[in-house]
Amino acid sequence: MLIAVVKSSAIAVLPMMMAIALPAVLPRAAAQTPPHEVAQAPTNREALQSGQAVVSGTEGNFVGQVIVDVSAEMAWEVLVDYENFENFLPGVTSSRLLVREDNQTIFEQVNEVQVAFISRRSRIRIATNETYPQRIDFQMVEGDAESVEGSWQIDVLDEAAGQVMITHQVAVDPGDEDRGLFFNVYRNNLRDTLNALKQEMERRAGV
C-alpha cells in the first residue's frame, strides 16, 4: 500500500530501534464518503466497470477504488506483501517489514516522487491491523507527515468468476507542506498505486 508522503527536506537514515512497540489500538479510518456512494456515481461506475481506478475526495480525505479480476485471497496476498512493494508500486524505492505480531505489523517505506522537476524522498513507518481477507486498517507511527491513517477493504463482487472491489480510504495531514500541491500529488499517486496493484494482482493470478 503506497503511502505517498511528499516533503521537500532530505530524508535522514535513522538507526533501527532494537524494539518497536505496536500501538495498542489502531483506529478505524476517518469518516469519509461511503465507498458505495463513490462506486454508484454514474461516471465512477462506468470508469470502474471499464477497469479504471477511481479516486474522489479533497483536502486530505480520499477514497480510491478499482475492480480486479482475482479472488479475495489473491488480492490480500498482494496488499500485505510489504517487503516487495518496491517491485511493483510506483515511487516506492524501499519497503521492509519491521515487526509482525499475530495480525499486527509495522513496516517502513521510502518513497520518491517528482514534483515540479524536483525529486523528493520521504520515509514513513506504518502500523497495520489485518482482518484476513477483508480489511487492513493502518496508521502512521513515524514519518514525514503530520498524520496518516486509513484502510484497505476487499469486497467480493463475483466469487465464482473471481472479481473483487478494492477500496482505499485515507486521511492525510501533511503538516507545514504546501497543502494544495501535496494533495494534488497525493491524489495522482493514489490513482497510479491502485492501477499498479490491479496489474500485480492480475499478473499473479495469470489473468
**Domains along the sequence of the chain with CATH:** 35-205 (3.30.530.20)
* pTM for the predicted model, two decimal places: 0.82
pLDDT value for 204: 98
Sheet holding 92-101, edge to edge: 54-58, 61-68, 163-173, 147-158, 135-143, 118-131, 104-115, 92-101
**CA of 129: how far to CAs of 38, 53, 66, 83, 138, in Å?**
24, 24, 22, 17, 6
pLDDT value for 37: 59
Q: 102: buried, middle or exposed (CB in 10 Å: 19+, 13-18, 0-12)? A: exposed
Q: 63: buried, middle or exposed (CB in 10 Å: 19+, 13-18, 0-12)? A: buried
R_g of the chain, CA atoms, integer Å:
16
Cis peptide bond N-terminal to 133, omega within 30: yes
Residue 83: how many CB atoms within 10 A of its CB? 12
Q: Which amino acid is at 165?
A: M
pLDDT value for 10: 30
**Backbone dihedral region of 79: left (phi > 0), alpha (psi from -120 to 50 degrees) or beta?**
alpha
Q: What is the pLDDT of residues 119-148, one digit of tens each?
A: 778 899 999 999 999 999 999 999 988 999
Task: Flag residues of the chain having pLDDT under 50.
Answer: 4-20, 25, 29-31
Q: Which amino acid is at 185?
A: V
3-state SS class at 57 = strand
